[in-house]
Amino acid sequence: MMMAMMVERCCCVRTHRFLALFLLPLGFALLASSRGVVGILDPVDFLALQAIRKGLEDMPGSDFFSDWDFTADPCAFPGVFCAGDRVMALALGDPRAGYPGLQGSLDPALGRLSALAELSLVPGRVTGPVPDELAGCPDLRFLALSKNLLSGPIPAGLGALPRLRTLDLSYNQLSGPLPPSLTAAPTLSNLILCHNELSGTLPPFPDAASLLRLDLKHNQLSGPVPSLPPSLQYLALSHNTLTGPVDTVLPRLTRLIFLDLSSNLLEGPIPGSVFEFPLAALQLQRNAFSGKVEPPQEDVVIPVVDLSYNRLWGAVPPQLAAVGRLYLNNNRFSGEVPSRLVQGLSNGMQLLYLQHNFLTGIEIGPAAAAIPVGASLCLQYNCMVPPFDTPCPLKAGTQKMRPVYQCPDWRG
């Protein structure tokens, strides 16, 4: 009897030693606390989370990582979301408004979270590159790392992710060209790379792309605007050095609700069809667009239309009388201002800027006798004495009208 008990005790000791030696290399995937076993995490994910944690730290005032205690269950950590034994989503940093973010760098171990579907990073001071290894997360659908100090090129491998729908790397210091693989990504709906240092030309987008939002404003992109998919609803390419015409590119984008191509070097005519789009804002200012502005016969109902600082000429179209805020200043418009346009200030139009053109008067008609309170009209520096004494923006200068030698058609 005594011999049997000793044999049994020896076997138990050996079994416990074997289990301890087996579990230790797995990175303590079987996690324990004072209450005993609380969860099982895939050992690869466990080690990846440890590496990610070593690469990042809280900025002063943040305590996001204070509860990342690897003797407990990582699936209960702030920002970690699991399904079964895999990490499915990672939200790094405290998302509450006004809270400091994180600093450090993103560890390549992120790519070992092969079941990861969502990765986000709050605004902070995280530096270094976007890890190429993220291309090893085939289920990644949402990647948002905006408003940090990330630098270097955009990994081309991100474009090969078969399920990626949103890529937001805006407000960083990323440089280099836009990878052609991103423009061909089959499922990408939102591509937001604004406020970086991207350069080079834009690659074409296939017609079959499912892209809804393309935001590349405030970069260093050059060359022509390429072919874009008709699925687009939001297009922002402002503050680059894009060149060439857009009259063959824009008419296909009939679903646009926002269009901003301002502050580039674009030229040629503005296609009349854009005034029929269901836009909330049409911003084409500060380019080299030329020619007449010819909307369709129906009134344009876009709330904001800004065509200022171009080389547009001809008559001011009366179809713009229903626009909420209309900027036509600093162009080469001539002739009389349609009475409907001035009357529009009494019918809901909030702002009408016509300064710095070659306008010669206001068309006879039921024009407003006085400008309503809250509405803005500027007619300064045209080929006429402004009939309304209304305040103009400071940039309009102090001269009421152009020198006569610049106004051969003026009959003052």
What are the tens digits of pLDDT across the range 57-71?
Answer: 999 999 999 999 999
**Residue 251 · residue 277 · CB < 8 Å:** no
What are the tens digits of pLDDT across the range 90-123?
Answer: 999 988 877 899 999 999 999 999 999 999 999 9
**Residue 282 · residue 305 · CB < 8 Å:** yes
What average pLDDT does the segment 250-278 reach? 97
Our measurement of the distance from residue 22's CA atom to the centroid of its chain's CA atoms, rounded to an integer in Å, reads 49
Indicate the range of 32-46, 91-105, 251-265 predicted with least confidence.
32-46
Burial class of residue 41, CB neighbours in 10 A (0-12, 13-18, 19+): buried
Whether domain 41-127 has CATH 3.40.50.620: the reply is no
In this predicted model, which residue has the larger pLDDT, 5 or 73? Answer: 73
* DSSP 3-state percent helix, strand, coil across the chain (nearest 5): 20, 30, 50
Three-state DSSP class for 306? Answer: strand
Q: Write down the pTM of the prediction.
A: 0.88
In this predicted model, which residue has the larger pLDDT, 217 or 208? Answer: 217
